[in-house]
Structure 1
Amino acid sequence: MRKIFIGLIAFMGLLTLSGCQKKAQATYLKTPYTRNEFVMGTTCTLTIYDKGKKSALKDGFAMIHHVDAEATLTRGGSVLDKINANAGVKPVKVPKDFMPLLEKAYYFSKNSNGSFDMAIGAVTNLWQIGLPGARVPAQSEITQALPLVNWHDVKLDTKNNTAYLTKKGMRLDFGGIAKGWVADKVREVLRKDGVTAAIIDLGGNVVVMGHSPLGAKRDWHVGIQDPTAARGTAVGTIPESNESIVTAGTYEQYLISHGHKYIYLFDPKTGYPYDNNLASVTIVSKNSVDGDALSNAAFDKGLKDGLQYMDAKNSQHIQAIFITNDKKIYLTNGLKKQFKFGADSGYHKGNF
C-alpha cells in the first residue's frame, strides 16, 4: 500500500506517520522544525510542531550524542567499551545516569525467559553484521562464545555505580535497547523545553508526542512499514498519541553469504541470527526502551509463543504486531479493533 497521508507525509525509518485532516491549531506550525543527523549507526530525525521551539532540536540531539558516547560499542572509549575491556578483571565505575540503562537491560534479561540477553556481545562481535567486517564465523568460534552469553554473570552495584562482567571475553551489547532508552530521554528533554507535539525517530524507534497538530485531540495515524517494500510503504495503520512504536525486522541490517540471508537479530541460545517465519515485530508501548527490548524478545519466541507472550502484557498497555514472510499480519488483542489494513497491500489477517 502506497498511502498519501492527508496533511502530513513523513517517512520515519521503519514507519510512516500522518495527521488527521483538520484545521491546524494556532500554536502549531504547518511546516515543522526538523533536524536530521546520522548518529548511533542510523539516521535520527527530530520533528517539532510547536511554534517557537526550534531550539529544542539542539537540546534533543545533545542528549542523543550524550548517550551515543556512553552506549555505542563502535565508539572508542565508550562506557560499554570500558566495561567489556575489563571483563574478568575488575568492576568499572559508570556515570550515574548510565546505571538505569544497565538496570533496564538486566531487568529484561532476567524477565524474558532467555529471549533477551544483555551479554550477547560475545556473539555479535563475531558476526559484525551491519559493520564492514561482517562475516559468518566458524561453528567452533560460536561454540566458544556461547558460554559467555549469560546475564547471570553481569554484576551491577547500584550503590557504588559499578558494572562487572565476571568472565574474560564477555561483552555487553545494547543494540537491542539503547535506541529505545535514548528515545525516552529525548522525549524528557523536549517536554522540559515545552514541546507538546513532536515526532522522535531514531531509525525504527519512533515516539509520537502529544496529538496530531492537524486536529484537536486527534491521534497520529501511524503506518506500519511493509517489510518487503521501499520505506514509506505501509501495510496498514494504527491511531496513536503519546506512544512509542518500535519495529525489529529482517530487512534493515543483514549479511548475505553463499545465498543465505543472516539478519542482525541474534538468538542468545544458539549464537545464530533468527531464521523463523517472522519478517518483523512491532511493539506499541508508552516507553520506547520497553518496546526495543520486547521487540527482540518477541522475535526470539517466534509467532505463536511471541503472540502469547505479548498478549500477557495487555494489562501493561503494551501491544504488538507480527508480520510473517508469507504476508500475514497477527495482532495482539488490544490492536485488533484499531489496526486498519491497507486494501491494496497484499497482506491479510493471520489466524491460528
Structure 2
Amino acid sequence: MKKKRNFLLIIISLIVILLVGYFFLKPQTKDDSNLAITTSPLTRSESLLHTVVQIKIYHKGQEKVMEEAIDYIKEMEKLLSTNLEGSDVYRINHAAGEEAVKVDKRTFTIIKEALKMSEKSDGKFDISIGAVTNLWRIGDDEARLPSDEGIKAALPFINYKNIKIDEEQETVYIEKGMTLELGAISKGYIADGVKSIFEKHHISTAIINLGGNVLVMGTSPNNEKGWNVGVQNPDEVRGDTVGAVHVKNRSVVTSGIYERYLEVDGKTYHHIMNPETGYPVENNISGVTVFTDKSIQGDELSTSLYLLGIEEGMKYIESLDNVEAVFIDKDKGLHISSGLKEKFELKNEDYHIVENE
C-alpha cells in the first residue's frame, strides 16, 4: 500500500514539474516579443490609388505585415481600375449591354454597398457617374471642358437602377452606354481591408492614410486622448488644417473641391459631379469631413453630403448612429454635428464655427 502511495506521489510530482516548465520556461512567441508599442513607427509611403498612400505601424518588427498591406493595396488598385485591361471594372464597362460579368468577391461587395448608398441618397450617390466623369477626366492630363451637348447625351446613362447584380453568381451587368466609376467608395473599402490585415496579425496601433481617407487604430502612444486628426483646410493644399479632433479607432474621410479641379477661361471646375446635371456640384460647401467606424461608410457619405448640401446633409448625419461630420462653407464657416461640438478644436483664425444650428 505504501509503495502504491509513493508511486502516485512521483506521478503527481512529474505532472507539476511539467506544468511549471510549460508556463515559465516556454519560449516567447512572435506575438509576445514583437508587438510592444513604440513611439517611432515603421512608416511606408507609396504613390498608389492616384494619391500618396502613407501607413504607420506603431509596433516593432512588422516589416512583413507592412509589405502585405502594400501588396493588398496594389492588388485592389488593379482589380478596380477603370483603365487597366482585365480589371473587374474594365471588364464590366466593356461588356455593357452584352453580358453579366463574374467579378471578384471584393469587387462585388463594393458594388453592392454602393447600390445601397444610392438607394439611401435617392440617387445622389451613383457609381454609374462614369458616363460623365469620362468626359471631364478631371485629375488626368487629358482633363477638358466637355461640350454641353456631350454632357446632355451622357446623362441618360447615369442610373444606378440599371446596374443588375446576381448575388448567387456574383455577377454585374450594366446597360449599353453605362460606365462604372468606383473612385467615390473604393478607398474606404481598401482602408478597411488594410485594417483587417493588421488585426489578423494582432496589430492594434497604426495609422492608415490613403490620401484623404484616414483610419486610425488604437490610440496615440503619446496621447491617451487619442490621435489628433486634423480637418483639412479646403483653401490650401492637403496637410493644412482648420481644426482637429482627438479620435480612437475611427475613420476620418475628407472630400473637398480643392482636391482635383480644372481651370478653363478663369473658371474652376472641381471633380465632384452632380449626376442630375453632369456638371460639378454647385452649392455653398467647400469641404466636408466625416467621422465613422468603417472607412467605406465615410467614403460614400463624403460624396453624398456634397450633393445633399449643408442643411439636408446635417439632418442626415444627425439621423445616423455613431457618425459625425464637419461641413465647411465658402464663407469659412464650420458647421459641426452635435457629437463633435465639444470635441472640435478650432486652430485657424480665418475660420469660425457657425452656432445655433
Q: Scaled by the length of structure 2, what TM-score is found?
A: 0.88
Q: Does residue 284 of structure 2 align to residue 277 of structure 1?
A: yes
Higher RCO (Cα < 8 Å, 6 or more apart): 1
Distance 1:330 1:252 in 2: 20
**Aligned equivalent of 1:191:** 199
**Aligned equivalent of 1:156:** 165
Distance 2:349 2:115 in 1: 39
Q: Does residue 268 of structure 2 align to residue 261 of structure 1?
A: yes
Q: Does residue 236 of structure 2 align to residue 226 of structure 1?
A: no
2:352 aligned partner, one-letter code: H
When Rg is computed on C-alpha atoms for both structures, the one with the higher figure is 2
Measured against aligned partners, the alpha-carbon deviations of 1:148-189 in whole angstroms (never above 9, x if no partner) come to 000000000010010000x21101101100001100001001
**Aligned equivalent of 1:6:** none
Distance 2:85 2:266 in 1: 33
**Aligned equivalent of 1:103:** 112
1:345 aligned partner, one-letter code: E
81-90 vs 301-310, which deviates more? 301-310
The number of residues matched between the two structures is 322
Distance 2:269 2:133 in 1: 12
The one of 328, 336, 341 equivalent to 1:336 is 341
Where does structure 2 lack aligned partners over 5 or more consecutive residues? 1-34
Distance 1:276 1:123 in 2: 19
Distance 2:171 2:277 in 1: 29
Q: Scaled by the length of structure 1, what TM-score is found?
A: 0.89
Q: Does residue 326 of structure 2 align to residue 326 of structure 1?
A: no
1:125 aligned partner, one-letter code: N
- Displacement of 1:113 in angstroms is 1.8
2:191 aligned partner, one-letter code: A
2:336 aligned partner, one-letter code: L
Are the aligned partners of 1:71 and 1:78 in contact in 2 as well (CA < 8 Å)?
yes
| CA RMSD, 1 decimal | 1.3
Structure richer in helix, relative to its length: 2
Measured against aligned partners, the alpha-carbon deviations of 1:215-250 in whole angstroms (never above 9, x if no partner) come to 4x4311111111112433221111101000001101
Q: Secondary structure at the match of 1:333?
A: coil
Are the aligned partners of 1:53 and 1:194 in contact in 2 as well (CA < 8 Å)?
no
- Displacement of 1:55 in angstroms is 1.9
Q: Secondary structure at the match of 1:238?
A: strand
Where does structure 1 lack aligned partners over 5 or more consecutive residues? 1-25
Q: Does residue 180 of structure 2 align to residue 172 of structure 1?
A: yes
Runs of 4+ in 1 over 4 A off after TM superposition: none
Q: Identity of aligned pairs, percent?
A: 38
Are the aligned partners of 1:48 and 1:54 in contact in 2 as well (CA < 8 Å)?
no
Are the aligned partners of 2:287 and 2:329 in contact in 1 as well (CA < 8 Å)?
yes
After TM superposition, list the pairs within 5 Å mapping 1:19-168 onto structure 2. Answer: 27-165=36-174, 167-168=175-176
1:208 aligned partner, one-letter code: V
